[in-house]
Structure 1
């Protein structure tokens, strides 16, 4: 789930001058008492290159975590003797972890710094994975998915916002999302190989535990003293800086500003429509990844040890799309491009539903991933042009948080309905989500050109 959690206190706790979008600076257009931001690059400060690399490694681990459950669902059902509706609870618990993190990650990262926040996130992931590796009762597994959801939400919020606010952010966010997709390819491959050779499904999470331990050592070190470097590059406005030095910012004034910022956020049309769009997008993505194997086994009578690799094809398509089609989207226009790929994904979903061929369905799944891959980077690019600069971090965070809930609601609904009528419900649910994507995208206002 590539989503950014949000806190209602975000506009206060994350200084918009530090994280304002690099895609649209306007020199000389700031009101009196403000400054024009100096955008960081991957080369300046020097440690940013290592921060980007660390962010990609974290994203890779997250991708493996998110893509593996689809290949492990059959083993979970068999080992715990549970039905589709029960096993789908893991998706809800994981998303609840994302939502829970939204209420504290902003404040926490501001108070203790991004490095220490990343240490906490990786520690939570290690705790969750350690519990899963022991193959505990299903209730503990579900609780562990909640814990890992919190940990993933924390590192995603820090790393994706960091990459999105560097110069040349389209390429860097593409690399970050591409690393997630590569992890998505390897997750089902490894999980399927393990269970097909008789290993316990939980042994897959030994790999995730090792990655979390590696990131616990690498990521915090690269982000150490990040705040000090940012402040040296981006000084605060004089009036605000003096107020903070004198300690004259009162708590009740801060609360009023936070509430006003939240009301402004919820009244912003691109933010609301963007949240609905990403909700539908991530819902379809996670639903396909989580349930396509079960559909192929139940309705196409596929061998679980072989069709388990179909999910890897889906994530390979997503990764390839993000590395290749994103550039094509920029040439023909992101708005038009997203319409075309959404319609294409809907048509492919109909083919998967009605064409009774495992090879054909497998190819169609991979191509649907190819079309869906560049949607998220394109959407972020459009949102950054539509949303006022000072609202971008809080707005994108809200959009990402709502999106993560979509990544829970859709697969959970699929599991609950599949328990009663069969896993073919995956397709009408995804088709409905694609229609929702198209409508919300159409209703977005047109972006005005900004001076670069």
Structure 2
């Protein structure tokens, strides 16, 4: 049962990735249809991100009230309806209205599924889960490209992705009883587990607020700088290569593809490595690899070496995010993990939304040549936060990637 169930979760994460890269691939054609300025896509993206941040912060309360299965189903239904709305909207104003359910749905399902897998499955599933997000994020631009290259009908592209989402909604609806059954099979084991130090009676029986648990703020800082670094290089990497390394636009686009390929492939490989190494070891190794790739990007070498640096940074970043997520219930306890996971998702989206524009502002005032230094500082800050966080916990724990008593597979 556990094997079939994790496949359903993988499918749900494909649905989470489908909308993420759709707007960017369709906007050049959408812009012409609406007569909108180029920068309008940025405002649409920020509107989606705002809804995602709000729903991530509220996910702890929502999941506790309705359960992971129902929240996942409702969230996927919201995103499917939003994508359908995108295909039908007559004006930009309606696009902004559709971003509300799209953002709210994405944040809730992201936090809910990440916490569910972190609490109930071993670390390799978390890496592969985010690899499947990459499948969805890769599939939707391919579908959109087919329609745009044919008759320029971006609306048909959105309609097709919405149809795929509705199929996934149907699968989730049919499997809804399975979520409750799996949850019941583990709830007694979770109740019998001893409370962690942070979950126990630390202040004479007074409840501990999630943000007051030691190390949580450092963990949030690590997510902020990780997502800022990942999104910044993905957004501005091509501009850096063209303007600083004299690469052709085609080569710059290939380098960006190598960067995202490094992240996707790296997460697939990391899933196997988790059988031998702990989450913390993978996080540290990934940070060192990303730092090495960024340092290579700083050197006055040819664009060919820069492409290799992009791939190296992607491979380094690959295991960090899923490993940090999987550590959440292990570090802070299952009692507060859903709320903390929501905070982490909110901070992650904040980093990916606002840190890349900060680099854009600095680059317009100085030069895009500061990109490697900016990424280097972000990765170093993430590593500092992560190592400080590790100092809060026992050094005797050498294998933190999911205990047998809390794992279903």
TM-score normalised to structure 2 length: 0.76
- 1:99 partnered with 2:50: no
Question: 1:281, CA displacement in angstroms?
Answer: 1.0
1:390 aligns with 2:345: no
CA deviations on 1:76-128 (whole Å, 9 max, x unpaired) are 777756355x5433342222112221354444444444444333212221232
Consecutive unaligned residues in structure 2, runs of 5 or more = 192-202, 398-402, 405-409
- Check the 8 A contact 2:78/2:102 in 1, yes or no: yes
Q: Does 1:286 align with 2:231?
A: yes
Alpha-carbon distance between aligned partners in 1 of 2:137 and 2:366, rounded to the nearest angstrom: 29
What CA RMSD, in Å, does the superposition of the two structures yield over aligned residues?
3.8
1:211 aligns with 2:156: no
Equivalences for residues 158-173 of structure 1 within 5 A? 158-167=112-121, 169-173=122-126
Is residue 149 from structure 1 mapped to residue 103 from structure 2 by the alignment? yes
**Equivalent position of 2:4 in the other structure:** 50
Q: For residue 269 of structure 1, give the secondary structure of its aligned residue in structure 2.
A: coil
Q: Tell me if structure 2 keeps the 8 A contact 1:67–1:311.
A: no
Paired residues in the alignment total 382
Q: Is the 8 A contact 1:293 1:307 kept in 2?
A: yes
String of CA shifts for 1:208-255, please: whole Å, max 9, x gaps: 3122111111112212263365346535999xxxxxxxxxxxxxxxxx
Deviations 1:59-90 (A, max 9, x none): 12322433455555666777756355x54333
3-state DSSP of counterpart to 1:82 = coil
Q: How does 1:280-359 map to 2 (within 5 A)?
A: 280-296=225-241, 300=246, 302-303=248-249, 308=253, 310-328=255-273, 331=276, 333-352=278-297, 359=304
Q: Distance in 2 between matches of 1:276 and 1:321?
A: 23
Mapped partners of 2:45, 2:130: distance in 1: 21
SS at structure 2 position matched to 1:66: coil
Residue 289 of structure 1 aligns to a residue whose secondary structure is: helix
* Residues 114 and 126 in structure 2, CA contact (< 8 A), matched pair in contact too: yes
Asked if structure 1 preserves the Cα contact closer than 8 Å seen for 2:118 and 2:325, the reply is: no
Distance, in Å, in 1 between the alignment partners of 2:85 and 2:276 is: 47
Deviation at 1:178, TM superposition (A): 1.8
User: Matched residues in 1 for 2:150 and 2:368: separation?
Assistant: 26
Q: Give the aligned partner of residue 370 of structure 1.
A: 315
Q: Against the structure 1 CA distance between its residues 100 and 194, is the aligned structure 2 distance closer, same or farther, given a 3 Å change threshold?
A: same
Match of 2:216 among 271, 281, 301: 271
Shift of 1:388: 3.5
In structure 2, the CA distance between the partners of 1:142 and 1:354, relative to structure 1 (3 Å rule), is farther
Counterpart residue number, 1:180: 133
**C-alpha deviations, 1:349-388, integer Å up to 9, x for none?**
3544666865544443233211111112322344444324
Cα offset, 1:437, TM superposition: 0.5
CA displacement at 1:345 relative to structure 2? 1.8
SS class of match (1:53): helix
Check conservation: 1:418, 1:424, Cα contact below 8 A. yes
